[in-house]
């Protein structure tokens, strides 16, 4: 798992914020139409879904209105909007180090966490 020191995280946030400001000044034709996600976001959601099907789907329901195969595992749609990349990274790191009462110890790469968050947050909120 990748760990970023606090000062580096702040620097990255500042860079990201200034990059967001620069892109906001671009002509509207260079940006996706309002209400439509960018191609990168769509790809991240698809990768997150594929990862969830492969690694998480044995226990967690992935689709709205479905029950989890393992009843104590929360369905993914109930997790929509609850995690950022950082909070999910921390939660999964905690699980990988100490386990969870009902979840196996897992190791998830930071790139996969970003995709999982994109997928989770693409779900309609309950």
pTM above 0.85, yes or no: no
Q: How far apart, in whole angstroms, are the C-alpha atoms of residue 5 and residue 64?
A: 37
Nearest residue to 78 (alpha-carbon basis) of 92, 61, 90, 91: 61
Q: Please, are residues 47 and 115 in contact by the beta-carbon 8 Å criterion?
A: yes
Q: Which domains does the chain have, with CATH numbers?
A: 39-126 (1.10.760.10)
Q: How far apart, in whole angstroms, are the C-alpha atoms of residue 58 and residue 117?
A: 18
Q: How far apart, in whole angstroms, are the C-alpha atoms of residue 21 and residue 10?
A: 17
Could you report the per-residue pLDDT of 67-104, keeping only the tens digit for each?
999 999 999 999 888 888 889 888 888 877 777 778 87
Q: What is the DSSP letter of 101?
A: S
Nearest residue to 1 (alpha-carbon basis) of 79, 112, 120, 121: 112
Residue 20 has pLDDT above 80, yes or no: no
Q: How confident is the model at residue 22 (pLDDT cuts 50, 70, 90)?
A: very low
């Amino acid at each position: 798992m990748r760990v970023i020191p606090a000062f580096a995280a702040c620097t990255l946030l500042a860079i990201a914020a200034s990059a967001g400001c620069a892109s906001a000044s671009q002509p509207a034709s260079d940006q996706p139409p309002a209400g439509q996600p960018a191609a990168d976001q769509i790809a991240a959601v698809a990768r997150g879904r594929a990862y969830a099907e492969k690694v998480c789907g044995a226990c967690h329901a992935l689709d709205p209105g479905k029950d989890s195969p393992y009843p104590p595992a929360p369905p993914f749609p109930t997790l929509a909007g609850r995690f950022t990349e950082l909070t999910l990274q921390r939660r999964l790191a905690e699980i990988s180090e100490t386990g969870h009462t009902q979840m196996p110890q897992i190791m998830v790469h930071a790139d996969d966490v970003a995709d999982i968050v994109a997928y989770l947050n693409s779900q309609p909120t309950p």
